[in-house]
Amino acid sequence: MVSIGIDLGGTNIKLALVDRDKGFITKKSVPTEADRGKVHIFDRIASEVKAIIKEENAEPVGLGMGLPGMVTLDRRTVKNPPNLPGWKIENVADEIESRLGLNAVIDNDANLAALGSARFGVGKDINDFIMITLGTGVGGGIIYDNKVYRGTTGSAGELGHVIINYHGPHSNSNTRGGIEAYLGQRFLSRYAADRIRQHTDNPLYEKFHTDFEKLEPVDLSRAADDGNELAVDILKSSGEKLGYAIVNYIHILDIRKIVVSGGVAKAGHWILDPAKETAEKFLMPPFLEDFDIIYESLGNEAALLGAASLAFEALS
């Protein structure tokens, strides 16, 4: 059995034909060209899907798509997705079905990253876990009883907007101090740049002082690997903030396994170790049993595999 999985982002559209048991058969990525509008994006998706089906002589059971934003409980409509100009309340499933004659379902991209981990990644043998995606922003998905927990309207799991400091920095949240303001890639880079400007003798200042826009979290982790104490301290501070957020998640949900993915998570132990130490320090003792933080190496492929898995489970 095969299905089509799509991960729609503001920059790229990732597409794959996926076998339910074996995983990827083929995959590709094309620019979203979001500035050309939603009709162009839907037409582009349909064209690329038709090409994959023809090339592989495939008969998919349906199509699953992950995208940013809050998705309705029936998994057909997205509301005000970020990074997609001109999108408001869009019945994406209808748009795809009318172009392809193929049944379609959608969900939030972080939810599908969690589902992809549950079906193909480190979450495969874990019945209940919380996925935290550390990328451009901070997303989340909750796997409860081996299924995505979606709340009463489909919008559960906006973990990046959990507030840990009302007087903290801005992000995409409606108030200051959401965890995304500390761990989202561009927000972490902004914080790091502010710290580095105060240490003009540091190699990171020498490398980036003419253009801090080029500074990315991977630069910090490489510097930390090389023994740069300022980089270590910046990543430690961010990891501690993640630990505080994890305490909130676990105290509310009583789910003790935390799966972390995304580009920022590639900083590895420099962020995850202080996150775990902070969580262990502040979790109420009964919640420490079975607590763990696990890195998901699938990266962006998790959402793509999750999208295909959604099609298998909702449409076959």
Give the residue extent of every domain in the chain. 2-116+300-315, 124-295
8 A C-beta contact, residue 63 and residue 49: yes
The CATH superfamily assigned to 124-295 is ATPase, nucleotide binding domain (3.30.420.40)
pTM of the model: 0.94
DSSP, collapsed to helix, strand or coil, labels residue 140 as: strand
What pLDDT is recorded for position 304? 97
Q: What was the pLDDT predicted at 20?
A: 97
pLDDT given at position 136:
84
Sheet holding 89-91, edge to edge: 70-71, 77-79, 89-91
> Model confidence over 84-93: pLDDT tens digits?
999 999 999 9
CA distance 171 to 190: 11
Q: What is the pLDDT of residue 175?
A: 82
* E strands in the chain: 2-8, 12-19, 23-31, 63-67, 70-71, 77-79, 89-91, 104-108, 129-134, 138-144, 147-148, 257-261, 292-295
Same topology between domain 2-116+300-315 and domain 124-295: yes
The pLDDT value given to residue 300:
86
pLDDT of residue 200: 96
CATH number for the region 2-116+300-315 comes to 3.30.420.40
Q: What local confidence, expressed as pLDDT, does residue 41 receive?
A: 97
Low-confidence ranges of the chain (pLDDT < 50): none
